[in-house]
Amino acid sequence: MTTPSNGDTVTIDYVLKRGDGQEVGNTAQVGPQQVQIGSGQIFPQIEEALTGMEVGDEKSVAIPCDKAFGPRRDELVIDIPRANLPPEPAPQPGMQLNAQSPDGQPMTLFIVEVGDESVKADGNHPLAGEDITFDLTLREIQQAA
């Protein structure tokens, strides 16, 4: 029985679902993913699940909101005057903006509403406030040298 351990690189397929079961992402869209166990590239709960799996095994891993992307924070929803945005492309709901937080850290904002004078942008991760589940399939293990 070969299972991955710290330092090994694994190839996985996944389906990501919200707590209500709605699918919000999968490797059919982006292709199989490679992850090095112990590198902190993914949620610790997924690393833990993978270390007990063999190639071909499937497992579901539920991650509560507070261990995933955290709760939604109302203070991360802000109004931005349209004069502060470039004229092109015209702002649209769903458009992504790159900004800086007050402490200087880069952050991503998503436009959620467009008005005549301002846009409402949300700095929360799209899955903030959501419990999530990853349905995993282990495809390959490359053992560390």
**Of 3-17, 21-35, 84-98, 111-125, the least confident:** 84-98
Alpha carbon distance 19, 25 (integer Å): 13
pLDDT confidence of residue 34: 96
Evaluate whether residue 2 is within a structural domain. Answer: no
Which amino acid is located at 140 in the chain? E
Evaluate whether residue 33 is within a structural domain. Answer: yes
Is-cis flag, bond preceding 89, omega within 30?
A: yes
Extract the tokens encoding 66: 């507070």
Q: Is the pTM of this model over 0.85?
A: no
Q: What is the mean pLDDT of the chain?
A: 93
Alpha carbon distance 80, 84 (integer Å): 7
Alpha carbon distance 42, 38 (integer Å): 9
pLDDT confidence of residue 100: 83
pLDDT confidence of residue 111: 94
**pLDDT surpassing 70 at residue 1:** no
Q: For a pLDDT cut of 90, what percent of the chain falls above it?
A: 81
Answer yes or no: do 17 and 57 share one domain. Answer: yes
Answer yes or no: do 58 and 36 share one domain. Answer: yes
Number of domains in the chain: 2
Cβ 49 vs Cβ 136: under 8 Å: yes
Cβ 50 vs Cβ 89: under 8 Å: no
pLDDT confidence of residue 46: 96
pLDDT confidence of residue 85: 87
**pLDDT surpassing 90 at residue 105:** no
Which amino acid is located at 117 in the chain? E
pLDDT confidence of residue 6: 92
Evaluate whether residue 4 is within a structural domain. Answer: no
| Three-state SS at 124 | coil
Alpha carbon distance 131, 24 (integer Å): 12
Alpha carbon distance 133, 92 (integer Å): 30
**pLDDT surpassing 70 at residue 23:** yes
Range of the domain at 41: 9-69+127-142
